[in-house]
């Protein structure tokens, strides 16, 4: 039966939460989806006409995850909360899907708790689902954090969807009180943004030169150190073998940083720069090595492309999520990891050479998160 679904997503620094949530929303093909975006609009990623897109007054964050607001804070936040409640009252959803909360996005409880309380009071109460990536950021007071999450989940939520393959990562490894949650916990497999499972990969060692390297950094807002180091490693790599390097900066690389990067690559015929590519997976399939941070969606592009990879995780703002993901993938032979503290041209060159000489990833990874999420949501009463 066709359901009305309110899907709430708030991205702050990068675009990963948005990309993953929109992929899930697109997969809910037999339902009426209202997709609520609380972050800045991302014009490079089109929204299908069958999805009703609702843009809240946008909020973003700096590299330390401090919120950047517009105008009078109290009035601004009140306006967002009111718009969300008005949408709920107007569409009377059958299901509410909230990305990350209450396992994250605590600063957005000003609008989410009133929404959830209104739903509790509604005789036509919607089923409430938390949509989680594979790994949660660890907190200074983890016990206090987990107690708060348990209370909120047990009061408001019916289901928790973990978009991961339990062969690689389980929720228990970053949240110890899974057993105290009254909600149903489902593993969906990883969410990929392009259709299809992991594709066949021709061994690049059998392909003629030049050696192709693709360097990416998600949305790009914190990508300049990786791009600069990659460019400076290029002469070292060229001394090893003929090389071509493509930098995919992402739409959020600040203009002044793009100018720095353009100046650095000027006169380097083996290096090309793209702001955005619509299908990174396909680009990686034609690469010998991928160099990137370790955000969820980038890692899924790497896994789907079955490309040798070097992961340089982002660890700013006390964020350990990307480091934990990179380490988990490395432990099962799916990536080479370079800690950002060791990011230097020589070290990056060595990591790329090591990745190039490694075996192609052989582990079969569950990438059916979009399809399985659709089946689970469709089966919900």
- How is residue 125 annotated by DSSP? P
Evaluate the CA torsion angle 46, 51, 54, 60 in order and state its sign.
negative
Spatial distance between the Cα atoms of 295 and 287, rounded to a whole number of angstroms: 19
Cβ atoms of 41 and 58 within 8 Å: the answer is yes
Tell me the pLDDT tens digit for each residue of 142-193: 999 999 999 999 999 999 999 999 999 999 999 999 999 999 999 999 999 8
Q: Read off the pTM.
A: 0.89
Q: Is 365 exposed, middle or buried (0-12, 13-18, 19+ CB in 10 A)?
A: buried
- Tokens at residue 374, please? 């659709």
Q: Cβ neighbours of residue 28 under 8 Å, at least 6 residues apart? A: 5, 7, 373, 374, 377
Domain(s) of CATH 3.40.50.2000: residues in the chain: 4-193+367-379, 204-356
Backbone angles phi, psi at 97, to 5 degrees: -110, 125
Domain 4-193+367-379, what fold? Rossmann fold (3.40.50)
Instruction: List per-residue pLDDT tens for the chain, 381 residues long.
Output: 899 999 999 998 778 899 999 999 999 999 999 999 999 888 888 899 999 999 999 998 765 555 565 556 888 899 999 999 999 999 999 999 999 999 999 999 999 999 999 999 999 999 999 999 999 988 999 999 999 999 999 999 999 999 999 999 999 999 999 999 999 999 999 999 865 445 455 454 455 579 999 999 988 989 999 999 999 999 999 999 999 999 999 988 999 999 999 999 999 999 999 999 989 999 999 999 999 999 999 999 999 999 999 999 999 877 889 999 999 999 999 999 999 999 999 999 999 999 999 988 677 899 999 999 999 999 997
- Which residue from 153, 161, 141 is spatially nearest to 5, judged by alpha carbons? 161
- Which residue from 66, 5, 7 is spatially nearest to 30, judged by alpha carbons? 5
Cβ atoms of 32 and 52 within 8 Å: the answer is yes
- Which residue from 211, 214, 205, 150 is spatially nearest to 182, judged by alpha carbons? 150
Q: Cβ neighbours of residue 350 under 8 Å, at least 6 residues apart? A: none
Q: Cβ neighbours of residue 345 under 8 Å, at least 6 residues apart? A: 229, 232, 233, 236
- As a CATH number, domain 204-356 is 3.40.50.2000
Tell me the pLDDT tens digit for each residue of 39-83: 988 888 889 999 999 999 999 876 555 556 555 688 889 999 999
- Tokens at residue 330, please? 């490395």
The pLDDT assigned to 272 comes to 97
Spatial distance between the Cα atoms of 60 and 13, rounded to a whole number of angstroms: 6
Spatial distance between the Cα atoms of 178 and 146, rounded to a whole number of angstroms: 9
- How is residue 333 annotated by DSSP? T
Q: Is 164 exposed, middle or buried (0-12, 13-18, 19+ CB in 10 A)?
A: buried
Q: Which helix (H) or strand (E) holds 95?
A: strand 95-99
Evaluate the CA torsion angle 238, 240, 242, 243 in order and state its sign.
negative
- Which residue from 187, 118, 124 is spatially nearest to 156, judged by alpha carbons? 118
b/e burial code for range 202-231 (CB count within 10 A of at least 16 → b): eebeeeeeebbbbbbbbbbbbbbebbbbbb
b/e burial code for range 315-351 (CB count within 10 A of at least 16 → b): beeebebbbbbbbbbeeeebbbbbebeebebebbbbb
> In sequence order, what DSSP letters do the residues of 178-213 get, joined into one string?
GGG--SEEEE-----SSSSSSPP---GGGSPSSEEE
């Amino acid at each position: 039966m066709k359901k009305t679904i309110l899907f709430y997503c708030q991205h702050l620094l990068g675009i990963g939460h948005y990309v993953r949530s929109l992929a899930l929303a697109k997969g809910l093909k037999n339902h009426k989806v209202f997709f609520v975006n609380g972050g800045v609009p991302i014009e490079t990623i089109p929204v299908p006409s069958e999805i009703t897109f609702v843009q809240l007054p946008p909020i973003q964050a700096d590299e330390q995850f401090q919120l950047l607001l517009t105008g009078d804070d109290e009035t601004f936040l009140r306006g967002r909360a009111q718009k969300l409640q008005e949408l709920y009252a107007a569409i009377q959803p059958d299901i509410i899907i909230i990305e990350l909360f209450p396992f994250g996005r605590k600063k957005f409880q000003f609008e989410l708790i009133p929404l959830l309380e209104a739903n509790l009071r509604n005789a036509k109460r919607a089923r409430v689902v938390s949509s989680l990536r594979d790994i949660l950021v660890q907190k200074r007071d983890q016990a206090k954090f987990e107690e708060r999450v348990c209370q909120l989940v047990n009061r408001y939520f019916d289901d928790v969807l973990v978009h991961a393959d339990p062969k690689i990562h389980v929720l228990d490894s970053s949240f110890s009180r899974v057993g105290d949650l009254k909600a149903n916990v489902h593993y969906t497999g990883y969410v990929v943004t392009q259709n299809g499972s992991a594709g066949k990969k021709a061994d690049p060692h059998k392909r003629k030169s030049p050696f192709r390297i693709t360097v990416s950094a998600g949305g790009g807002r914190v990508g300049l150190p990786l791009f600069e180091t990659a460019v400076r490693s290029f002469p070292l790599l060229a001394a090893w073998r003929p090389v071509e390097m493509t930098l995919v900066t992402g739409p959020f690389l600040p203009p002044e940083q793009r100018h720095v990067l353009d100046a650095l690559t000027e006169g380097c015929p083996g290096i090309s720069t793209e702001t955005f590519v619509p299908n990174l997976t396909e680009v990686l399939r034609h690469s010998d090595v991928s160099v990137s941070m370790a955000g969820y969606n980038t890692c899924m592009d790497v896994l789907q492309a079955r490309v040798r990879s070097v992961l340089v995780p982002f660890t700013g703002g006390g964020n350990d999520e990307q480091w934990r993901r990179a380490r988990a993938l490395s432990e099962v032979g799916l990536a080479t990891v370079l800690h950002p503290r060791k990011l230097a041209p020589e070290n990056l060159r060595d990591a790329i050479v090591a990745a190039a000489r490694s075996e192609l990833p052989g582990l079969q990874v569950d990438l059916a998160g979009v399809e399985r999420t659709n089946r689970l949501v469709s089966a919900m009463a």
